Structure 1
Amino acid sequence: MPVTALVSAKSCGVTAAALALTLASKRPSLLAECDPAGGTIRAGLLGGQVNAGFGLYHLARAERTGPEALANAFASHLCHLDQAGHRKLLPGLTDPAQAAALARTWPALADVLHVMAQQASHDVYIDAGRLALEAGHLHPTLTPAPLLYRADMVLLVVRGTEQSLALARHVIPSLRTALQENGSSANALGLLLIEDGPFRAHQVGESLQTPVIAALPHDQDVAHYLTAGGHPPRGYGRSALLRYARTATEQIEVAASRRQFQQYAPPAPQLAGILQRLNQQHTEGGVKHG
């Protein structure tokens, strides 16, 4: 299954889109909230039910101990987005100041996410937040660049508005170059269109010279619930956003399978502990929401 990273040039609904894809997937799925500017799902959709004792930041210390400690910490810091435990979340940072501590953790976390995708057969989504550039390069602290380089697909989330397209034009050349020089190649880059504005998918693709891999409707009520929490809107489970998100997950998988990926070295054997810990959690319960 693919590892897909979602980013934006400016706030375009990355978190709502990532949650919609995770919740709508027909397979077990995982969302890693890796925005260095801080996570919002903990206080939003989860309504503060998961405290700061869980989440991404705690993986940094474990990574310094070794792969086995990282595997155990990763499994321990997942929470469930559904009762069955098929939708999992790694909650993000509670303070942007924590981002610097993760600089050396990102590559190891990329290995873990690929284990979840390849060995545990999860659709894996990364909320990488807003791209930050420094002198035309991905910022080493404010963007989780190693996660983008290792992702099977990197989707720039855009809206069909002139403003959104103008901002995307500014970051696409730098992002494409970074993926070509450090990632699996520039063709890992695609667009996820939020259908808000006058421009349709083919116009957006032509304007940005980048393929639109999938599109999601601008469903303001459902998107607000996914980002802010509270009571789900009427008809939430049958909403257009979730229906189209399921189709989008399939389109992303097809796009990923068409690419001829660079073969990465297999992760450390200690990472197999992730699967054992996840099985134990499924049996014993674990942190749940929903």
Structure 2
Amino acid sequence: MPVTVLASAASCGVTSSALALTLASSRPSLLAECDPKGGTLRAGFLQGQVNAGFGLYHLAAAERVGPEALAQAFASHLWPVDEAGNRKVLPGLTDPAQAAALDRTWPSLSDVLHVLAHDAGHDVFVDAGRLAVASGRLHPTLTPAPLIHQADLVLLVVRNIEASLSLTRHLIEPLRAELDERGTGSSALGLLVIEREAANRGRGYTTHQIADALRTPVLAALPWDASAADFMAEGGAPPRGYARSDLLRHARTATEQLEAVAQRRRIQQEFPVQSPEPQLAGVLQRLTQHRVGRRG
């Protein structure tokens, strides 16, 4: 299963989208809240059930002991969000000042997440929050850059309105270049569209228009569902019809789409298409030209 990082150019539903995907997955799943600017799950969806002695920050001390200590600490800081315990979250930071302590923890945490996904068959979603770019690169402290570099998929969450597209447009090229230089390749980059405005009323863009405008494929789309989104953000009692809501239904489809895309990427990376030998390419070119000439 893939490790999928979700991030955005602005606050536009990254955490709610990542949580919806985690809850809707048909497989065991995990949401790791890794926004260096602080998490919202603890006070929102988890309604204060988890105190500050639990969560992401405490993995930094374990990582300094060694890989085994980190793996054990990671497992002990996961919080179940369903009765069967198949869906879990790793609550994020309570204070942005804690982010500096995680600089050397991110690469090791990435290894743990990939083992959980690839070897243990979990859908792993990472909430990377709002991305910060400095001098054309991901900021080393204000972003969990190693998690983004090594992700199977990197989704920029964007709403289908001009304001969101305008902010996202400036992130595309720096992020694409960074993934090519330091990550698994720019083919990991895609969009998750939140369709808040109705495109058929002329108020919002279609997914095809967004893909063309940002020159990036739309890998998944989620509808704006106010009651379900409020539940994701604030917790409490699920709204009536929540299990059959449009948000969860589309999120369930999205997890399957993302797994299929990640699988195709793995196959392409394992068995890359080789360019023809120069001599063979020359022969093919002459044959093509000959056929075109005869048709003329």
Mark yes or no: TM-score above 0.5.
Answer: yes
In structure 1, the residue matched to 2:218 is 212
* Aligned counterpart for 2:228 among listed residues 206, 222, 232: 222
Aligned residue for 2:213, secondary structure, equals: helix
- The CA deviation at 1:119 is 1.3
In structure 2, the residue matched to 1:244 is 250
- The CA deviation at 1:231 is 2.4
Aligned residue for 1:202, secondary structure, equals: helix
Check conservation: 1:116, 1:122, Cα contact below 8 A. Answer: yes
In structure 2, the residue matched to 1:280 is none
The one-letter code sitting in structure 1 at the alignment partner of 2:151 is A
The one-letter code sitting in structure 2 at the alignment partner of 1:236 is Y
Check conservation: 1:19, 1:226, Cα contact below 8 A. Answer: yes
Runs of 4+ residues deviating >6 angstroms? none
In structure 1, the residue matched to 2:282 is none
Partners of 2:261 and 2:190 in 1: how far apart? 9
Partners of 2:165 and 2:79 in 1: how far apart? 35
TM-score normalised over the length of structure 2: 0.87
- The CA deviation at 1:220 is 1.4
Check conservation: 1:192, 1:214, Cα contact below 8 A. Answer: yes
In structure 1, the residue matched to 2:37 is 37
The one-letter code sitting in structure 1 at the alignment partner of 2:53 is G
Q: Deviations over 1:1-43 (max 9, x none)?
A: 0000000000110000000000000000011000001010011
Partners of 1:90 and 1:120 in 2: how far apart? 17
Aligned residue for 1:243, secondary structure, equals: helix
- The CA deviation at 1:262 is 5.5
In structure 1, the residue matched to 2:47 is 47
In structure 2, the residue matched to 1:121 is 121
In structure 2, the residue matched to 1:177 is 177
In structure 2, the residue matched to 1:132 is 132
Partners of 2:236 and 2:212 in 1: how far apart? 39
Structure scoring higher RCO (CA < 8 A, sep ≥ 6) equals 1
In structure 1, the residue matched to 2:277 is none
User: Which is greater in Rg?
Assistant: 2
The one-letter code sitting in structure 2 at the alignment partner of 1:202 is H
In structure 2, the residue matched to 1:69 is 69
TM-score normalised over the length of structure 1: 0.89
Aligned residue for 2:17, secondary structure, equals: helix
The one-letter code sitting in structure 1 at the alignment partner of 2:19 is L
* Aligned counterpart for 1:199 among listed residues 196, 205, 218: 205
Alignment of 1:158-177 (within 5 A): 158-177=158-177
Partners of 1:27 and 1:168 in 2: how far apart? 31
The answer to whether 1:81 aligns with 2:87 is no
Show structure 2 runs of 5+ residues with no match. 198-203, 271-296
- The CA deviation at 1:230 is 2.4
Check conservation: 1:184, 1:262, Cα contact below 8 A. Answer: no
Show structure 1 runs of 5+ residues with no match. 264-290
In structure 2, the residue matched to 1:272 is none
Alignment of 1:255-270 (within 5 A): 255-260=261-266
Q: Percent identity?
A: 68
Q: Deviations over 1:169-225 (max 9, x none)?
A: 011111111111000101100000000231011010000000000100011111111
Q: Deviations over 1:62-84 (max 9, x none)?
A: 00000010011001101101111
- The CA deviation at 1:234 is 1.3
Aligned-pair RMSD on alpha carbons? 1.0
In structure 1, the residue matched to 2:25 is 25
In structure 2, the residue matched to 1:287 is none
Aligned residue for 1:213, secondary structure, equals: strand
